[in-house]
Chains A and B, each alone.
Chain A
Amino acid sequence: MNDLNAPDATGHSLRASGCSVRLADRLATVVIWSVALAVTAVFVWIVADIVVHGYKEISWAFLTEEPRKAGRAGGIWPILVSTVLILAVCIVVALPLGVGTAVLLAEFTPIDSLFGRLVRRALDVLAGVPSIVFGLFGNAFFCHVLGMGFSILAGGMTLACMVLPILIRATEEGFRSVPNEYRLGAAALGLSRTSTLFRLLIPAAVPGLVAGLMLGFGRAIAETAALIFTSGYVDRMPESLMDSGRSLSIHIYDLSMNVTGGTRNAYASALVLVVLLLIINSLAFWIAERFLHRRIVVV
């Protein structure tokens, strides 16, 4: 009979190792729950700060009027329109470019090819370029060299450059994690690689794709420094993509740091931005789930 307390070949007794394993497991559970609680607490702190300082100014008028008195009075409607337009340009440019590059890197390039490694490292470098350098670059390249001037188009394209590395790397990871059996099975059935890609791999890689989208969207909507020099400062309703239009994050920055007495409306605008973000994220999630016919997350 085994004596639970007797040491075995490694010097541990069955009971002792069992106990220490269970103890470690319980400790891990405590640590992980504490981390989750701490992160939640900080988040609630920040959002509560925004809500408390900003909710008083929120009204239908605030959302639909034009700004007056440099933003101290009136609303943010033209700014909301500009923001949505900038985001739309960014996504329309970044999504095909990003997913395309990711697919190439993951599916059509051998893992240790020079081209693949160069592109991947170039993307890592791009991910680290400071936002203000992007702004200055966007100003020089899109606004002056390509002649777009201060415009929503220039802003959207600069944002697309910023969002690209995040989108590509996250999507690439999504594709890498699809088990090889899927591809081998498709090949065995005689599917073309194009079919395999669109009908099998993209739906299966959706966790990575959505993570990339969320991070990309988040970065795009949060960006300030890059847009000041490209899509500009004008708070009038834009009439076309070539007009200059202020984004919500620039408006928040101007009101809180530059305009005297603008702090209250800055918080209100921040609140609107948080709600807008919630809506966009939910929408992206719903679209991905609905059109790709698959429960994206395991929970």
Chain B
Amino acid sequence: MRNINANVFKTLRQVFAISAAMFLLRHGNIAAEEELTGKLVLTGSSTIAPLASELGKRFEKQHPKVRVDVQTGGSSRGVADARKGLAEIGMASRAANDDEKELKFFTIATDGVCVILNKDNPVQALTDEHVAKIYTGKITNWKDVGGNDAPITVVNKAEGRSTLELFCHYYKLKNSDIKAHVVVGDNEQDIKTCAGNANAIAYVSIGTAQSDADEGVAIKLLPMNGVDATVENVRLGKFPLSRPLNYVLKSEPTGLPKAFIEFSQAKEQYDIVKENFFVPLGK
């Protein structure tokens, strides 16, 4: 009698232990996710801000107790705030500088950069050498590169912008050598300047330019070394000029920031990345 009881109890205990283990295995992760609460503050690049904002909204829907607040202020501010702990995650639309090697950078998307002209400009393509000479003021009239007899209006970006640094690095120029007629801040300012001036040349994010050109804005994107400037080509790695869009943290992320970073990089969110005209990391 006692032996049967002992065996029954032993079996019951084993069954109980296995069921509990299965229960925890199945529901344990969900319980950990449902417990995500708190506020996440991101500051930094205004290029990344709309993307981060939309990612944050979708994240909030999946985790109702979480709030994701996105603020702007520029890439430098994002890095500085992350360093000082004023924001959990900083946003920087560039790779890490030499003095930022101790911070953790996580890329969530990439952004290509291409040269644009006004739609009515007959010039269809420019060699790298031409572009460099135009920007340093050695070529000043469109007729020298096969266009109309009109002075070129050179549009440059403001100092410190990562697009400018990328541009200078690729064409091997120094910013102080560039002779610009107009200096702009945001991408849309570039595009609107080019659209309103038949003789302007500028460089912008490919996604932005492609979307605006599709909507009928009077610009056209120039190919670089024979490769067409499309978001697809940047994704395939064929297009030479591109920059990373990064989340910056002071140290290895845990908890809520870690969950959000993984969420932003996940394949399910590629549609948001594409919707904002950037290039997702994977296929």
A interface residues with partner B (beta carbon < 8 Å): 69-71, 144, 150, 228-229, 232-236, 244, 254, 256-261, 263
Cβ contact within 8 Å between A258 and B71: no
- From the candidates B57, B69, B188, name the one contacting A150 in the complex (CB within 8 A): B69
Taking the closest CB of chain A, its distance from the CB of B137, in whole angstroms, is: 28
A150-B69, A232-B69 are known; give 9 further A-B pairs, CB within 8 A. Answer: A69-B275, A70-B53, A71-B50, A150-B41, A254-B46, A260-B188, A260-B207, A260-B277, A263-B188
Taking the closest CB of chain B, its distance from the CB of A79, in whole angstroms, is: 13
Cβ contact within 8 Å between B71 and A256: no
Once the chains are docked, how many angstroms separate the CA of A122 from the CA of B212? 47
Once the chains are docked, how many angstroms separate the CA of A236 from the CA of B72? 15
B215 to chain A: which residues have CB within 8 Å? 261
B212 to chain A: which residues have CB within 8 Å? 260-261
Cβ contact within 8 Å between B50 and A258: yes
Cβ contact within 8 Å between B276 and A150: no
A-B contact pairs, 11 of them (CB 8 A): A69-B275, A70-B276, A228-B72, A233-B49, A234-B70, A235-B53, A254-B50, A258-B50, A258-B187, A260-B187, A260-B212
Taking the closest CB of chain A, its distance from the CB of B80, in whole angstroms, is: 12
Chain B 229-269 interface 0/1 with A at a Cβ cutoff of 8 Å (1 = within): 00000000000000000000000000000000000000000
Is B189 at the interface (CB under 8 A from chain A)?
yes
Nearest residue (CB) in B for A264 is B215
Is B118 at the interface (CB under 8 A from chain A)?
no
Is B54 at the interface (CB under 8 A from chain A)?
yes
Is B208 at the interface (CB under 8 A from chain A)?
yes
Nearest residue (CB) in A for B275 is A69
- From the candidates A144, A234, A236, A257, name the one contacting B71 in the complex (CB within 8 A): A234
Cβ contact within 8 Å between A258 and B49: yes
A236 to chain B: which residues have CB within 8 Å? 57
Chain B 53-71 interface 0/1 with A at a Cβ cutoff of 8 Å (1 = within): 1100100000000000111
Is B37 at the interface (CB under 8 A from chain A)?
no
Cβ contact within 8 Å between A232 and B71: yes
Cβ contact within 8 Å between A258 and B276: no
Q: Which B residues between 174 and 221 are near A, CB-CB below 8 angstroms?
A: 185-189, 207-208, 211-212, 215
Number of interface residues of B (CB under 8 A): 28
Taking the closest CB of chain B, its distance from the CB of A238, in whole angstroms, is: 11
Cβ contact within 8 Å between A70 and B277: no
B46 to chain A: which residues have CB within 8 Å? 254, 258
B186 to chain A: which residues have CB within 8 Å? 257-258
Cβ contact within 8 Å between B69 and A234: yes
Once the chains are docked, how many angstroms separate the CA of A197 from the CA of B124? 73
Taking the closest CB of chain B, its distance from the CB of A199, in whole angstroms, is: 48
B275 to chain A: which residues have CB within 8 Å? 69
Nearest residue (CB) in B for A229 is B73
Once the chains are docked, how many angstroms separate the CA of A223 from the CA of B22? 58
Nearest residue (CB) in A for B50 is A70
Once the chains are docked, how many angstroms separate the CA of A123 from the CA of B275? 47
Cβ contact within 8 Å between A258 and B69: no
A144 to chain B: which residues have CB within 8 Å? 86
Nearest residue (CB) in A for B212 is A260
Once the chains are docked, how many angstroms separate the CA of A232 from the CA of B186? 18
Taking the closest CB of chain B, its distance from the CB of A73, in whole angstroms, is: 10
Taking the closest CB of chain A, its distance from the CB of B194, in whole angstroms, is: 14
Once the chains are docked, how many angstroms separate the CA of A232 from the CA of B215? 30
B57 to chain A: which residues have CB within 8 Å? 236
- Residue from B41, B53, B185, B211 whose CB has the most chain A CB atoms within 10 Å: B53
Cβ contact within 8 Å between A258 and B188: yes
- Residue from A229, A232, A236, A259 whose CB has the most chain B CB atoms within 10 Å: A259
Once the chains are docked, how many angstroms separate the CA of A257 from the CA of B54? 18
B188 to chain A: which residues have CB within 8 Å? 256-258, 260, 263
B70 to chain A: which residues have CB within 8 Å? 233-234
Taking the closest CB of chain A, its distance from the CB of B269, in whole angstroms, is: 14
A259 to chain B: which residues have CB within 8 Å? 50
A260 to chain B: which residues have CB within 8 Å? 187-188, 207-208, 211-212, 276-277
A232 to chain B: which residues have CB within 8 Å? 69, 71
Once the chains are docked, how many angstroms separate the CA of A234 from the CA of B52? 11
Once the chains are docked, how many angstroms separate the CA of A260 from the CA of B49? 12
Q: A257-B186, A260-B277 are in contact. Are A69 and B73 (CB under 8 A)?
A: no
Taking the closest CB of chain B, its distance from the CB of A72, in whole angstroms, is: 9
Q: Which B residues between 82 and 99 are near A, CB-CB below 8 angstroms?
A: 86
B73 to chain A: which residues have CB within 8 Å? 228-229
B277 to chain A: which residues have CB within 8 Å? 260-261
Once the chains are docked, how many angstroms separate the CA of A236 from the CA of B277? 22
Taking the closest CB of chain A, its distance from the CB of B280, in whole angstroms, is: 16
Q: A256-B188, A260-B207 are in contact. Are A244 and B71 (CB under 8 A)?
A: yes
Taking the closest CB of chain B, its distance from the CB of A66, in whole angstroms, is: 9
Taking the closest CB of chain B, its distance from the CB of A174, in whole angstroms, is: 39
